[in-house]
Amino acid sequence: MPATPTPGRRLLSPADHTLIMIDFQSQMAFATRSIDAVLLRNNAALVAHAAQGFGASTILTTVAEKSFSGPMFEEITSAFAGQAMFDRTSMNTWEDAAVIAEVNRIGKPRIVLAGLWTSVCIVGPALSALDQGFEVYIIADACGDVSDEAHERAMQRMIQAGAQPMTALQYLLELQRDWARGETYEMTTGIAKKLGGGYGLGITYAKTMFHAQEGK
């Protein structure tokens, strides 16, 4: 079969998935040890702003927000000003009827998950969605758990069940995928400069010193 210049089916695009950001709350973050809290917040912000910028369908959900866990990180909510938040009692987001009604209303075949904790609040919806025929992607560095062991075992369990792992920066760049897409170029590089770590520093340097631009 001859090769063609077309993207692989498993690559994400802005219109083919629903991002669900789960339990990015203070009470959950206090006990998270598998990733530094500053890096976690940065990666969550990168994912949120990427989804918002590309218009990807996004569900924000918390657990016991007012009674126990606290509000969702401002880095996320600032990207989705005015968007409704789904507060739950269930640890497994997929068992919350209101969230699933929103998943069905959106109607996308792929689910992308990020949140706290990996072994509970991400494993639950990942395995449940896979059982119901959805493709599932996990943004591994926008998840965290009470230990490295807990996070890694959870990731392995989901991967063995069919989930596909990725990273926050990978999510942003996979949605852009071609630097010739001028309508989203400045947004993508702007997010990367602010939240993309060393890669973002490189963009800032190249643009400032040489007026460089990807794809040119």
- Whether 61 and 158 map to the same domain: the answer is yes
In a domain? residue 3: no
Any idea of the CA torsion for 173, 115, 137, 185, to the nearest 10 degrees?
Answer: -20
- Whether 133 and 195 map to the same domain: the answer is no
- Whether 111 and 165 map to the same domain: the answer is yes
- Whether 167 and 214 map to the same domain: the answer is no
- Whether 159 and 212 map to the same domain: the answer is no
Q: What pLDDT, on the 0 to 100 scale, is given for residue 65?
A: 78
Q: What is the pTM of this model?
A: 0.94
Number of structural domains the chain divides into? 2
Residue partners of 61: CB distance under 8 A and separation at least 6: 20, 21, 22, 23, 85, 86, 87, 88, 93, 96, 99
- Whether 172 and 182 map to the same domain: the answer is no
Q: What pLDDT, on the 0 to 100 scale, is given for residue 206?
A: 78
> For residue 123, what are the domain limits?
17-177
Q: What pLDDT, on the 0 to 100 scale, is given for residue 177?
A: 97
Q: What pLDDT, on the 0 to 100 scale, is given for residue 173?
A: 98
In a domain? residue 6: no
- Whether 169 and 153 map to the same domain: the answer is yes
Three-state secondary structure of 97-165: HHHHHHHHHHCCCEEEEEEECHHHHHHHHHHHHHHCCCEEEEEEEEEECCCHHHHHHHHHHHHHHCCEE
- Whether 140 and 41 map to the same domain: the answer is yes
- Whether 39 and 140 map to the same domain: the answer is yes
Cα 98 from Cα 131, distance rounded (Å): 19
- Whether 112 and 198 map to the same domain: the answer is no
In a domain? residue 211: yes
- Whether 88 and 75 map to the same domain: the answer is yes
In a domain? residue 11: no
In a domain? residue 191: yes
Residue type, 188: T
- Whether 45 and 76 map to the same domain: the answer is yes
Query: What is the mean pLDDT, run by run of 10 residues, along the chain of 216 residues?
Result: 94 98 95 97 98 98 87 96 94 98 98 98 98 98 98 98 98 97 95 92 80 65
In a domain? residue 68: yes
* 139 strand-pairing partners: 166
